[in-house]
Amino acid sequence: MICTPIIQRGNVIGVLNTYRQERHEPDQAELSLLGVAARMAGVAIETVRIAESQRAAAKDLRTMSEQLQIQNAHLSKVSWVQGRLIEELSPSNPTVIARIAQIVADGLECSIAVCNATGRLLAGVGPPEETERMASVAARAAVLTRLRYELMVHLHGCTCIRIGQVGSLLGALVLKPSIDAAPKFATVIATHAAAVLAALLLSERADRALDDYARPAVLLGVCHGLYLRSVLSDAAAVLGVSTDARVRVAQVDLGSEEAANKRARQVLQMRSVGWPALAAVAEGCSIIVLLDASYAANPPSRPWDADAAIAIGVSAVVCGLGELPLARNQARVAASLSRSLGT
């Protein structure tokens, strides 16, 4: 029996056990394959956990909406705010948190601060000095502890509302003046906004999980031929491409595993200098990069400082994810030639 730990974010979350009928000493290739399988299992477990959190946040959002429908007082203002908040549920909009804060401030005529789970200010509406003070209230350890289990905390003329579920704090929505003695509609608007913000932050967390864990693990598995052609459509969905996409594979050799792990997470930086990177994963001291076929033979610049990459090898264009193992081998050979030629 071989026991391979399943690790996510530095923690062991399970064990992948494999058995054989006869005694067998695994070689390094088998151990590497089991390591890849364990990483993919870890990604699957993490993805399920995030999906469950998103479903719970969506349920909370639906509950808030149902409560809004039965409110009689100030119905027109509540409806206006609700409509605007729903419009802002767009993960592709980088200013969506600030716009939600502005909607709530307009609806309640107050100052707003949106903070993350540590109390850092993400967006504010009102005088900068005031929103900073509001964020400092939310950043207090006692307030953060209470918000994990209480929906609202009224303190120093402010109301802090939990963003997230009980026991799972994603952030805080801070209002000034406090709505402790305000009409009921103010509480409905504020808690509805907090539910929208929770859905948004969970969505962003899921996107980061895809970039940091799912896409790298799937890319590594496809390049090693671990996916049957019948399930390549699932891998394509995670990578954000079609199964018959025209792509290239690049291998970037670096000086250490630490450098490879660090730079494999810099997909956005690669795109900013002209590399049409779709996903990247570290493998030893190298990075495997999935490139769109629009990559030119001579890129406008390297994706890192000139001294960072020891060698870069790029495959020919291949059609479909099923051809990635071939492209991976081409990139490996090209990088080896680049090293031997000193280019």
Q: From start to end of the chain, where are the E strands?
A: 2-8, 11-18, 111-116, 121-125, 152-155, 158-165, 168-176, 246-253, 277-283, 286-292, 311-314, 318-319
Phi and psi at residue 338, in whole multiples of 5°?
-65, -40
pLDDT lower than 70: segments of the chain: 68-94, 204-211, 295-308, 342-343
Neighbours of 58 (CB within 10 A): 14
Residue-level pLDDT at 215: 84
Nearest one of 324, 312, 301, 334 to 249, comparing CA atoms:
324
Q: What is the pTM assigned to this prediction?
A: 0.48
193-227 pLDDT tens trace: 898 888 888 776 666 666 677 788 888 888 988 88
| DSSP-derived secondary structure for 23-81 | -----HHHHHHHHHHHHHHHHHHHHHHHHHHHHHHHHHHHHHHHHHHT--TTHHHHHHH
Q: What is the pLDDT of residue 71?
A: 56
Q: Taking a C-beta distance cutoff of 8 angstroms, is the pair 194, 183 a contact?
A: no
Residues 217, 223, 224, 230, CA torsion sign = positive
Q: What is the pLDDT of residue 94?
A: 44
Q: What is the pLDDT of residues 89-138, one digit of tens each?
A: 444 444 788 888 999 999 899 999 999 888 889 899 999 999 999 999 99
β-pair partners for 283: 286
**pLDDT value at residue 224:** 87
Give me the pLDDT at residue 213, please.
Answer: 75
